[in-house]
Chains A and B, each alone.
Chain A
Amino acid sequence: MTAASVHTRRRPRINVPAGSFLLLLLVILLWWLAAQLSFVIPTPADTVGALVSNFGDADYRRHVEATAAAVLVAFLVAGLLGVLLGLALGLSKWVRIIFEPLVVGFNGVPKIVLYPVLLPIFSLSGSKIVMGVLFGLFPILINVAAGIRDMPAVYWKLARSVNANWWQVLTQIIVPAIRRPLLTGVRLAASLSAVGVVLAEFFSTRFGLGRVVLRAYGNGNYPDMMATILLLISVAFIVSLLLWRWERKTR
C-alpha cells in the first residue's frame, strides 16, 4: 500500500450535522408515509399544528408546567440521594456487604407497582415525584459506587501523604476521579426520572402530560395525542443528547 492511499483512507469526510439532518428528514418522511397508510396516525404537519395551538391554551401550559416541575424535583432529589448513597456504598465495605444485594434486587423491581401504595401516603402531586425519584435514583447510585471502587488505590495513598481532609478528598479527588461514571448516571437519571413521572401520570394525576396523552387517546383526538407525545420525546431526546455530549467532552 502506498503512502498516498493510506492518506486518503484516513480522511473520510463525514459531516456529522448534515448526517443528523438527513436522518431527521428520513424519519419525518417515514412518519408522513405511515400517516397516509393509517387514519389513526396524524401527519407531521397536523401534529405540529396541534402542538402550536395547544401552547396557546393556558390549561395546556399548566399541564406542561406540572410535569416539568415534577421531573425537575424528582431528578434533583434522585441526584442528591443517589450521590450520597453511592458514596456510602462505594466508600464503606460494611455498607456494601449489607446493602448491595438490596440495591441490586430493588433495581430489578418494576417500581411502578408501588404507585398504589405511594398514593395514599404522598397524595396525587407527591406520588409521581416519588416515582420519578425511584426511577432516577439507581443509575446514579450504582455508577457513583462503581466509580469509587474503580479509583486507583494510589489516589488514596496520595491523599493521605499530603494529609488531605475529607472535604478535600471529596472535592479534589473523588468527584473529579469519578466524573465520567457520575455524568453517565446523571444522564440516565434525567431520562428515567421523566419516565417515572410520566408513567405515574398515566395512572392517576390532576395535572400532567401523561394524563393529557391518555385523555386525547380516550377522545380519539389523535393529533392532540401525537402532539404531546412529540413534545415529550423531543425534550427527552435533546436533554439526553446534550448530557451525552458533555459526558464525551469530559476528559
Chain B
Amino acid sequence: MSQPGIQISDLSVEFAGGDADPVTAVSGVSQEIDAHRFVSIVGPSGCGKSTLLNVVAGLQQPTAGSIMIDGKPVTGPDRRIGLVFQEDSTLPWKTTTDNVAFGMRILGVAKRDQQRRAQEMIDLVGLQGFEQSYPAMLSGGMRQRVALARTLAQQPSVLLMDEPFAALDQQTRILLGAEVRRIWRQTKQTVLFVTHDLSEAILMSQQVWVMSYRPGRIIDVIDVDLPDDRDASVVSTPAFNELQNRIWSTLQQEAMRGFVAESTAA
C-alpha cells in the first residue's frame, strides 16, 4: 500500500505582468507522487518548472489550488521540505562542517546532534577529509555536495531539487547524478527533480513529467522502467533510447513554441 508523498491539486500560478497582461506560469496542474518515489520534471526553458517547484516548497503562493505533503497541506516553507538550489548556496565564511550544520542550527537542533549528523552527512556525500575546508577551496561539484548534505541533515521527508547540476561541467554532472541516486536509494526521500536535460531525467528517475511551454501544464507522464541499480551505461540500451525518443517527440514542439515566443518577445 503506497502512501502519498506529494499531492498537487489543480495548481495555477499567475504573475502580475506590470503594464503587460498577467503571465500564467503554471496552469491546472494535478499530479501525485507516492512517498519515496523519484520524479523528474523536464520542459523547455521558461515553462514554469522552477515556479512549480517553488510553490511545492512553500516559497511562493499559488493563485489557485493546493499542495499536500505526507497528507498535510503546505502553507509556507517547513521542515518536511528540503531544497537544493541551482546556484552555489554554500556560505563562504563557514567550513564544510559548519555549512552542513547551518540548516540544523537555524531549525534549533541540539548542538550534539548537529555535530554527529553533520559528520554522517559529510560521509554520505563523500566529503571526508574536507570537514575544515572553506568553499573557496572546493570545486563547484564539491560545493553542491555540501549544499546537498546541508539539506539532507535537516531530515526532510521531501527533497526538491531545482536544476542542481546546471552550473557544473558534463563529467561532474554525471558523477554527481549517480551519487544523488545512490544517496536516494539509501535515504528514500520523496524527490522532485527539475532539469532541462532529457537523459539526466531518464537516468535519475522512476517517472518523468513533461511540461509544456507557457502556460505550464503537465502534458505527458512517462514511467521509467529501467533497473533500479542502473548506471550511466544504461544510456546505450534500446529501452533508454525509446524513452528518450518518446519524451523528445512531445518536448520538441514545446521547445519550438517557447523558442518562437521568446524570440518574438525580445
Contact = CB atoms under 8 A, between A and B. Distances in A.
**Do A and B bind?**
yes
A179 B91 CA distance: 13
Interface stretch (A84-92, A149-157, A228-236): A149-157
Interface residues of A, number: 19
Contact of B92 (A153, A159, A163, A251): A251
Interface in B58-86: 59, 76-79, 81, 83, 85
A176 B87 contact: no
A160 interface: yes
Given A179-B93, A251-B134, A162 B85 contact: no
A65 to B, nearest CB: 38
Given A157-B59, A161-B59, A162-B79, 15 more contacts: A154-B85, A154-B88, A154-B89, A155-B89, A157-B83, A157-B85, A158-B85, A162-B102, A163-B76, A163-B78, A163-B107, A172-B105, A176-B91, A251-B93, A251-B134
B135 to A, nearest CB: 10
A126 B171 CA distance: 66
A221 interface: no
A68 interface: no
B203 interface: no
A168 interface: yes
Contacts of B102: 162, 172
The 4 closest A-B pairs by CB, nearest first: A154-B87, A162-B106, A161-B83, A154-B89
A161 B103 CA distance: 9
Contacts of B78: 163
B77 A152 contact: no
A164 interface: yes
Given A152-B87, A154-B87, A154-B88, A162 B107 contact: yes
B154 interface: yes
B148 interface: no
A157 B81 CA distance: 13
B125 interface: no
A162 B104 CA distance: 9
A179 B92 CA distance: 11
A157 B103 CA distance: 12
Contacts, number: 52
Interface of B: 57, 59, 76-79, 81, 83, 85, 87-89, 91-93, 102-103, 105-107, 134, 136, 154
A160 B89 contact: no
A163 B79 contact: yes
A158 B89 contact: yes
7 contacts: A158-B85, A159-B106, A161-B57, A161-B83, A162-B106, A163-B79, A172-B102
A173 interface: yes
B191 to A, nearest CB: 16
Contacts of A155: 89, 91
Contacts of B83: 157, 161
Contacts of B76: 163
Contacts of B154: 162
Looking at A153, A155, A163, the one whose CB has the most chain B CB atoms below 10 A away is A163
Contacts of B85: 154, 157-158
B175 to A, nearest CB: 23
B118 to A, nearest CB: 15
